Amino acid sequence: MSITPRIGNVLGALACAGLMAYALFAEHALGYEPCPLCIFQRVAVIALGLLFLIAAIQDPGQFGRRIHAILMLLAAGSGIGVAARHLWLQSLPPERVPSCGPGLDYMLEAFPFTEMLQTVLSGSGECAEISWRFLGLAMPGWVLISLVALGVFAAWNNWRRASWPENAGSGRPPPA
């Protein structure tokens, strides 16, 4: 059975929804407060999920799917960059960890957008703290792995040639 691009996009959107569901569970049920870098990773996952959902609803042709693939790679890539930065901060020795800065809510209100973005991406002490691990990896490591996998899937699913609909009336079976 072949997965159509539309079904693949639905699966991608569901995977992003699952990631966000666990992030919210970890925050509200397990009590893990997200740091500013965690919040930016969530934004990337939400953006990627919305792009998957839009592509599934729209079900564009080959050119449109390629545009969606590029946008999805940009969303996944931005999340990968933030997760990588987060992992780097977590790997620093304690004496090299930057001091804790103001909260994201305050920065959004008080700083211009570019200054807020620069401050968040430079990281702070709270972002270097590791309070959760699964199979030896902290949460940003799992986010990084998930976004790499979803980015590769998005590119494959939306860039590939979905030739079976064009062959529907030719009498030839769809490619396996």
What is the DSSP annotation of 76-136?
A: HHHHHHHHHHHHHHHHS-GGGSPPP---HHHHHHHS-HHHHHHHHHH--HHHH----EETT
CB of 35 closer than 8 Å to CB of 138? no
Give residue 85's identity as a one-letter amino acid code.
R
| Structural domains for the chain | 5-156 (1.20.1550.10)
Q: pTM for this one?
A: 0.74
How far from each other are the two terminal CA atoms of the chain, in whole angstroms?
A: 7
CB 68 within 8 A of CB 48: no
Predicted confidence (pLDDT) per residue in 40-59, tens digit:
899 999 999 999 999 999 98
pLDDT digits (tens, 9 = 90+) for 123-171: 555 666 777 767 888 888 999 999 999 999 999 999 887 655 544 444 4
Query: Residue 137 is inside which H or E element, if any?
Result: strand 137-138
Residue 141 tokens, joined: 């490591």
Three-class SS of residue 44?
Answer: helix
